């Protein structure tokens, strides 16, 4: 079986960066220095993840997966803190009164009181992928005005994602779904014609959302091998989340390869993307770094 690997989402900050963020929040550090440190830390991350096939921006300057869009699009603002699913992590609930257009250049190093400085993503020569929240997940985890319908919201947000990816000069997009979507995935058809879409699903996969698709995702990355048929039928490269981002136990290459051999024999899959479940910010940085090393050894 040919294995490719993916690292996506918010990656744990280093002790140094956490310390500097604390200094910034107390008003004893400048945003200019924070910008320099974030750029340096991201460059170090990209160096560490060489050998991983697909890597998104580590989002060191974001506190949650929705905030970059909430701060960048007209009609969305930051609301109160809410618990992120069944975890001890919190996010600022987006408050959606309407969905306008991008109101700023997301690749400029702008400053906000509610967040460390932009840009939204930082690229390098290797082709880092932009990552966005799955629209219907964002809709269901936000406070939404009754005038804003889910399908309308989702279609317009996907156009914004396309525009940002174009500015970022990326032909590929990672869509992360923290919550199950009930919306038909046919809404992605137009975007799939211009970008390769990697869809990372959560533990509650709604198989009915994929019925009668007229296109294929580049990859559908599922949380359990019982959904591999869905991924294989609806994407070019099926993917499986094999490393646990909520558990500090370190998996071994041997156990992962043994499981992959079982999967190959049972499904006939010859090409698979392997990644982690949920983003790694739930782990200590040292544990996350070790799990990255495990993924590198899978190739």
Task: Please answer whether residues 277 and 243 qualify as being in contact, where contact means their C-beta atoms are separated by less than 8 angstroms.
Answer: yes
Separation CA 279–CA 116 (nearest Å): 19
The pLDDT of residue 49: 95
- pLDDT for the residue numbered 199: 97
Q: What percentage of the chain exceeds 90 in pLDDT?
A: 79
How far apart CA 275 and CA 282 sit, in angstroms, is 15
Query: Domain map of the chain by residue range?
Result: 2-298
pLDDT recorded at residue 274 = 98
What's the confidence (pLDDT) of residue 179? Answer: 84
pLDDT at 68: 93
Note the pLDDT tens digit of each residue in 216-274: 999 999 999 999 999 999 999 999 999 999 999 999 999 999 999 999 999 999 999 99
Total H helices, total E strands in the chain: 9, 11
Note down pLDDT in tens along the chain; length 299 residues: 999 999 999 999 999 999 988 888 888 878 888 889 999 999 999 999 999 999 999 999 998 999 999 999 999 999 999 998 888 889 999 999 999 999 999 988 888 877 888 899 987 666 899 999 999 999 999 999 999 999 999 999 999 999 999 999 999 999 999 887 778 999 999 999 999 999 999 877 888 899 999 999 999 999 999 999 999 999 999 999 999 999 999 999 999 999 999 999 999 999 999 999 999 999 999 999 999 999 999 88
Stated pTM of the model: 0.95
Reading across the β-sheet that carries 90-96, which strands appear in turn?
A: 76-83, 90-96, 143-144
Beta-bridge mates of residue 7? 55
Inter-CA distances, 29 with 37, 122, 252, Å: 12, 22, 41
- State the pLDDT at residue 125: 65
**Upstream peptide bond of 119 is cis (omega within 30 degrees of 0):** yes
Does the 2-298 domain belong in CATH 3.20.20.210?
Answer: yes
């Amino acid at each position: 079986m040919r294995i490719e690997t993916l690292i996506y989402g918010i990656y744990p900050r280093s002790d140094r960066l956490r310390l500097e963020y604390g200094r910034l929040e107390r008003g004893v550090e400048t945003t200019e220095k924070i910008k320099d440190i974030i750029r340096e830390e991201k460059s170090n991350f990209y160096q560490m993840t060489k050998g991983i096939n697909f890597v998104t921006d580590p989002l060191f300057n974001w506190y949650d997966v929705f905030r970059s869009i909430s701060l960048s699009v007209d009609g969305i603002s930051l609301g109160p803190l809410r618990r992120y699913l069944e975890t001890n992590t919190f996010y600022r609930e987006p408050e959606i009164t309407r969905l306008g257009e991008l109101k700023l250049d997301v690749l400029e190093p702008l400053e906000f009181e509610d967040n460390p400085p932009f840009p939204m993503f930082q690229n390098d020569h290797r082709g880092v992928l932009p990552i966005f929240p799955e629209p219907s997940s964002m809709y269901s985890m936000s406070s939404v005005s009754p005038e804003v319908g889910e399908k309308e919201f989702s279609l317009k947000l996907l156009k914004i994602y396309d525009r940002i990816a174009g500015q970022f000069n990326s032909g590929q997009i990672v869509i992360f779904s923290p919550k199950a979507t009930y919306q038909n995935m046919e809404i992605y058809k137009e975007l799939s014609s211009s970008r390769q879409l990697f869809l990372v699903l959560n533990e509650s996969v709604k198989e009915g959302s994929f019925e009668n698709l007229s296109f294929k995702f580049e990859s559908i990355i599922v949380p359990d091998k019982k959904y591999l048929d869905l991924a294989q039928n609806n994407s070019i490269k099926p993917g499986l989340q094999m490393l646990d981002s909520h558990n500090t136990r370190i998996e071994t290459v041997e156990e992962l390869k043994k499981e992959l051999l079982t999967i190959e024999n049972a499904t006939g899959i010859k090409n698979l993307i392997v990644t982690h479940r949920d983003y790694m910010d739930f782990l200590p940085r040292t544990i996350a770094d070790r799990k990255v090393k495990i993924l590198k050894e899978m190739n």
